[in-house]
Structure 1
Amino acid sequence: MKLLQMIGQGVILWVIFLLGNQITAVTGLPIPGTVFGMVLLFLLLLCGIIKLHYIQDAADFLLKHMLFFFVPVAVGLMDWGAVFYEHGVVLAAALLAGAVLPFFTVGILTQLLHKGDK
């Protein structure tokens, strides 16, 4: 029974993933379908159309085993050593900016939004 429940929850998540990819294909926007899928899932949860317990077990399983899904990607990156050697500084700067800028942006926005609460 638990296996069928997990499969059903996985199907719900898979359908949302496919819908996100379809949104990308239809709109032609340069945004990955997975991003649209995440936004769609968030909106469905926010509106109460999908309850958290409908997908909780499958989502927990995927999050718990996330490292397993990234191992093939990490192994594939080993073939790209020359690219990392040649463009390592640019890639490091992009990673640093991609981590630091959102951090400070969210902090500043939070401070601005909560300024009137004091």
Structure 2
Amino acid sequence: MKFILQLFFIWLIYAISDFIVSFLDLPVPASVFGMILLFLLLVSGIIKVQHIDKAATFFNKHLAFFFIPFAVGLMNYGGLIRASGIQLLIMIVVSSTIGLLVTSGLTQFLARRAVSKHEQSQSQSNSH
């Protein structure tokens, strides 16, 4: 029963985000807006991870299943892929590389910042 309630809660967040995107005519997919909304709710502490953990684990475990429609849809664009495959491949590689570099740079920055804060708190506690 808890799993079904968690699924309903995640669906509710999506439904709310779909309404907001439609109402405000935002140029963002409702699913992306819903993920941002869910992130903000989690970070602010309005909802706890325990409220969605079982459903989120299920979705992560079966993530490949959700890409099947996308992969089947690509079959309709065989001619485009043959004609522009190299350009598409270059765009995918470059954008993935940029994403990885930005993510790793941000992770290193935040890790260094956390270490320096920890060292500052250690030095302040040692001086007292």
Bin the TM-score by the shorter chain.
0.7 to 0.9
Candidates 1, 8, 19, aligned match of 2:5? 8
Distance 2:62 2:104 in 1: 30
AA matched with 2:90: A
Gaps of 5+ in 2: 120-128
Runs of 4+ more than 6 Å apart: none
SS in 1 for 2:67: helix
1:104 equivalent in alignment to 2:92: no
Aligned to 1:52: 49
AA matched with 1:94: M
SS in 2 for 1:49: coil
Distance 2:109 2:88 in 1: 31
Distance 1:103 1:53 in 2: 29
Gaps of 5+ in 1: none
Are the structure 2 counterparts of residues 80 and 106 from structure 1 closer, same or farther at C-alpha, using a change threshold of 3 Å?
Answer: same
Q: Per-residue deviation at 1:30?
A: 1.6
AA matched with 1:41: L
Aligned to 1:66: 63
Instruction: Find the structure with the greater CA-based Rg.
Output: 2
* Aligned-CA RMSD value: 2.2
How many residue pairs were aligned?
115
TM-score by length of 1: 0.82
